[in-house]
Structure 1
């Protein structure tokens, strides 16, 4: 079954559903969508809920008392639901009747509490996915009730492998599920579902990587033949720099898929790195627009040619610089690199920057204490290993000499690298005082 009208996919992140006022604003945006035209809405966890769930899981996994933060999380969602649905009846716990069956607010909170109580010492990543996924489930339960959209559980539809916390999509199975089960719903009103989540063939919940709701929107668009995807942000579009970090950012009115993929790869926070490829394969344009100013132009990401772009400035925090030296002081050979790359891949430590000299090989990765400790254990007999934490990685895409001078001034550069279009450097978080 194919939908007769162009299908749009909207994605709303945590900031756009952070409280009752934000959800009302989201509802207003949905009401501006042309009546009768199919729409799927992808929603992230509310505000900082994912961070709160990570804390809850850490407490449970380490055997600490998590009751107080769990109650705070319960109260937060209950208060937002009560403000949005003042006429809804309350249950015996005072929770607004929101959703139905296993998708009700009360049922989801009960499930979360039960799962936290069952957390054990082992299988950290698998258990992480089962707990942290409740952010999206709770948010979509509330938003669906407040907007009148049809709630859809995405977990049985997006089929993944068992690579917990960064699951890989089984595209053929996912496309078949979505076409069979979602296409018939599109003529019945707005369909609203969770970002970030998937599921295994055995029914266990997986996550697609932090900030993975953008990727969910792309998966749905690719599999269902959407005409466009719109990501609603708190910025005016795709900017050349994060306005919270860099002054006077510039909006790109349009930009190519390739440029956006590279910016996302280097750490630009507006778009999840995996989002662009499925859209580019089927020529689906991606719009980045502001939920604070829905009528503004935003940015169109599509297959286009453009002249030279203004430099893009990207910062990744919480970085770790790891250096390897062969214990016998031999050169770093291809055989050495094969061992290092194999260990990094097995531990899922993504290389953000790398550089080698005659007797040393250095990589910059995101800091994951558990994974880095495992790396040291695996390679310490073969290599002398040094590492620094608490670092930042800066990237200037389409750099100019002026841009390099401006960003490096007053910083201690531990490693730097330059190619034709990209300049990167690793520095300490706090520049030394002048």
Structure 2
């Protein structure tokens, strides 16, 4: 059996849903479970709704009406006037949010986020499952919250692998013998049956969880690119597709910020030796990229850009060394404020890190660090990571840039840079 994962771009409209059904129709290799994200940019819109609701903004209801109309337009385009039961099913799902919006927020904001934003995946999968059935593919909709069990860390649910594996093996696996299963990415459920999410863009991770627990033969992630490219086309005019990647290189690239695969996706697959294929839903006949245990170096350097970076430099107030005790305190504060370090460098009396510039988190973190340390802070920076670098590749990305921090290992070079014409 195999797992297919389709992201929001693949189901952004009725034509996308039809294309997905065509890909499924052509699948001939046995049992199939399909993991699907929210449609198009709906997660962004639901995050906007969540923000408006928490701030009791007047436009919360109008944002939600946009979300509803978007989905009902797709349903009407698919079923062309036929009143398929999915219309009422989706309407009833949206009622849960209507009820929530009627009351003032009185719960943990992260909990509220998960209840609102998770609706995108629930609705998209109901629409896709209905269309697959309409087109002759015997399909069963399954609620991922019943199978992927997490703790109560809202917005970043930690998977209980033992519970999840037991439930999937006992309750979900038998259903695959008679049906194509359609389920959600990104979401899970607690032991009290509350909805959690697995972290932004976590649908790939969901697919890997199902693949691991079902001992799948393969996981295929369908994207709008022909496979894993050595650079993001929005940064480079010329890119090359990488035909084969090792698990090791894939983990490195995703950790450093390559967006084609979610960082948590690889490990569950590597543990079971399950190959991951990245293929194009635009040209499904292409071979894409295979990610396997074969440990071959990349044939070309790979470039990863992360913008909107902040460089935080930390100095002891008494000019003592940055030693283990100081580092322990620093890492504790980063963990407490949920700030992920993208790269770091320490010297005798300083410790510098590059992080995503989330203004709210960073402001609180710097306040906490300032109680013990002197802090310097730069914004509006870029982090460039080159896997299998050489001096030519470094020179290529450093044109008209000031390099504020550089970290090199045997195969990887990371540089925090700013434009030379930027004063900050």
| Matching of residue 43 in structure 1 with residue 36 in structure 2 | yes
CA 1:307–1:322 in 2, change beyond 3 Å: closer, same or farther? closer
Q: TM-score, normalised by structure 2?
A: 0.94
* Correspondence for 1:420: 410
| Matching of residue 215 in structure 1 with residue 208 in structure 2 | no
| Matching of residue 396 in structure 1 with residue 381 in structure 2 | no
| Matching of residue 27 in structure 1 with residue 21 in structure 2 | yes
Tell me if the contact between 2:114 and 2:154 (Cα under 8 Å) persists in the aligned partners: yes
| Matching of residue 130 in structure 1 with residue 132 in structure 2 | no
Q: In the comparison of the two structures, how many residue pairs are matched?
A: 416
CA 1:261–1:307 in 2, change beyond 3 Å: closer, same or farther? closer
| Matching of residue 72 in structure 1 with residue 80 in structure 2 | no
1:182 equivalent among 146, 150, 172: 172
| Matching of residue 140 in structure 1 with residue 133 in structure 2 | no
Q: TM-score, normalised by structure 1?
A: 0.92
CA root-mean-square deviation:
1.6
Q: How does 1:342-357 map to 2 (within 5 A)?
A: 342-357=332-347
> What secondary structure is seen at the aligned counterpart in 2 of 1:384?
strand
Which one is further off, 394-403 or 161-170?
A: 161-170
> What secondary structure is seen at the aligned counterpart in 2 of 1:155?
helix
Tell me if the contact between 1:161 and 1:167 (Cα under 8 Å) persists in the aligned partners: yes
CA 1:242–1:308 in 2, change beyond 3 Å: closer, same or farther? closer
Unaligned ranges ≥5, structure 2:
134-138
1:268 & 1:116 partners in 2: Cα distance?
A: 36
* Correspondence for 1:408: 398
1:81 equivalent among 54, 62, 75: 75
Tell me if the contact between 1:50 and 1:135 (Cα under 8 Å) persists in the aligned partners: yes
CA 1:356–1:215 in 2, change beyond 3 Å: closer, same or farther? same
- Deviation of 1:346 after TM superposition, in Å, equals 1.8
Segments of 4+ moved more than 4 angstroms? none
* Correspondence for 1:333: 323
2:262 equivalent among 268, 272, 278: 272
Tell me if the contact between 1:119 and 1:127 (Cα under 8 Å) persists in the aligned partners: no
- Deviation of 1:377 after TM superposition, in Å, equals 3.0
CA deviation string 1:31-53 (max 9, x = no partner): 00117x11000000111111101
* Correspondence for 1:93: none
2:116 & 2:391 partners in 1: Cα distance?
A: 47
Unaligned ranges ≥5, structure 1:
1-6, 90-95
* Correspondence for 1:432: 421
1:419 & 1:309 partners in 2: Cα distance?
A: 18
| Matching of residue 58 in structure 1 with residue 51 in structure 2 | yes
CA 1:205–1:350 in 2, change beyond 3 Å: closer, same or farther? same
